[in-house]
Structure 1
C-alpha cells in the first residue's frame, strides 16, 4: 500500500508537472507568436512609409510644373479628382524628377504638355502601388505583394483585435491563479495574502499587456485613387495647353528649370 501510495503520488506530481509545462507553453507561446506578428507588421509599416514618401516626391515633381497652390488643385479638378491632403503633404518633399521620362517635342508647348503628362503618369503609378501594392520578387524568388494601404489597414484592425483578445483572455494573473490552484496546500497558505497578491496580479496584467498598434498611414492615406495616365491623357494635355496660353513664358521657365534640375542630379 505504501508503495502504491508513492506511485499514486508520483503520478499526481507528474500530471501537475505536465499541466504546468502545457500552461506555460500556451501562455508564452501565444505571447511570442503575437510579438513576432507585431514585429512583422512594424516592418511592413516602414515599407509602406517608404512607398508614401515616394508618392510625395513624385507629387512634388508634378506640382513644380504648376504656377501655385491654386493651380495644383485646379489641375486635379480638371481630371475630376479631389486630391485631399496630397498637395499640402507634398509641399516639403524633394521632387523625384528622376522618376519621370521626359518626352521630346520640337514645339515648346508640346514639350511642356508632355512633361506634365509624364510627371502625372509617374505619380499615378506610385499612388497605385501605395494604395494597392504591386507584385515583386521576394526571398527565394517567390512573388509577393508590396506593402499597401488596403493590406495594412485590414491587418492593423485584425492585429488589434488579437491584442485585445489576448490581453483579456490570457492575462498573467489568470495563469498565476491556475498554477496556484494546482497546489491546494500552497493556495491555503497564501489565502491571508490574497489582497496584496491580487494587487500584484492586477499590476502585472497592466504591465505585461500588449499596447495596440497604430496604423495612421493605412487609416489616413496621403493620396486618393488617381486614374491611370492613359485614361486622362486628353484632359492633362488640354489643361497644359490652357496653362501655356495663360502664361507661356512662366510655363516655359518651369519646364526649363525642371530640365536644369534634372540634369544636375
Structure 2
C-alpha cells in the first residue's frame, strides 16, 4: 500500500502543480494584456485631449461652433457633442495670425491709405 500511496501523492502533487501553472500562467497572460490595454487607453486619452484642444482652438479661431462643425462635415469627420471652448486652447494650439487681429487690420488700413495718399502726392508733385 505504501507504493500506491506514494504514487497517489505524486499524482496529486503533479496535478496541483499543473493546475497552478495553468491558472497562474493564464493570470499572467491576462495581466500582460491588461497592462497593454491600460497603456493604450492612456495613450488614447492623451490623444483625445490634444484633439479636443485643437477642436476648441478651431472654434476660437473661427469664432463659431457652426463654422467648426461645417468644416468637420466638409472633411467627412462625424463630430458629436458640443465643442468645448477652453480659454487657453487658442494660445496652446496656435496663435491667431497677426493679419487676422483687429490691430493688424487697422494697421493694414492705415498703411493702404498712407500708400495711396503717398502715391497721389508723388503723382501731384
- Counterparts of 2:12 and 2:26, CA distance in 1: 21
Residue 11 in 1 paired to residue 11 in 2? no
Output one character per residue of 1:21-45: Cα deviation in whole Å (capped at 9) or x when no partner.
1112212321232133213312320
CA gap 1:96/1:54 in 2 versus in 1, 3 angstroms: farther
Shift of 1:99: 3.7
Task: Check conservation: 1:60, 1:95, Cα contact below 8 A.
Answer: yes
Residues of 2 paired with 1:21 and 1:96: CA distance? Answer: 61
Structure 1 residue ranges without an equivalent (≥5): 113-251, 257-265
- Give secondary structure in 2 for the equivalent of 1:84: coil
**d(CA) in 2 for partners of 1:46 and 1:96?**
24
TM-score between the two structures when normalised by the length of structure 2: 0.63
Name the one with the larger helix percent. 2
CA distance in 1, matches of 2:60, 2:30: 45
* Alpha-carbon distance in 1 for matches of 2:46, 2:7: 58
> Which sections of structure 2, spanning at least 5 residues, go unmatched?
106-125
CA gap of 1:56–1:74, structure 2 versus 1, over 3 A, is same
- Name the residue aligned to 1:48: 44
Q: Distance in 2 between matches of 1:101 and 1:69?
A: 18
Decide whether aligned partners of structure 1 residues 87 and 14 sit closer, same or farther in structure 2, where only a CA change above 3 A counts: closer
1:84 aligns to what? Answer: 78
1:82, distance to aligned residue in structure 2 (A): 3.6
User: Considering only aligned residues, what root-mean-square deviation do their CA atoms show, in Å?
Assistant: 3.0
Q: Residue 91 and residue 13 in structure 1: after superposition, are their counterparts in 2 closer, same or farther (change >3 A)? A: same
Instruction: Indicate if the aligned counterparts of 1:56 and 1:86 stay in contact, CA closer than 8 A.
Output: no
Structure number with larger C-alpha Rg: 2
Q: Between Structure 1 and Structure 2, how many residues are aligned?
A: 103
Residues 53 and 89, structure 2, Cα contact 8 Å, conserved in 1: yes
- Answer 1 or 2: higher relative contact order, Cα 8 Å, separation at least 6: 1
1:73–1:87: 8 Å Cα contact kept in structure 2? no
Native 8 Å contact 2:56 2:89 kept in 1: yes
Q: Offset of 1:102 from its aligned partner?
A: 6.6
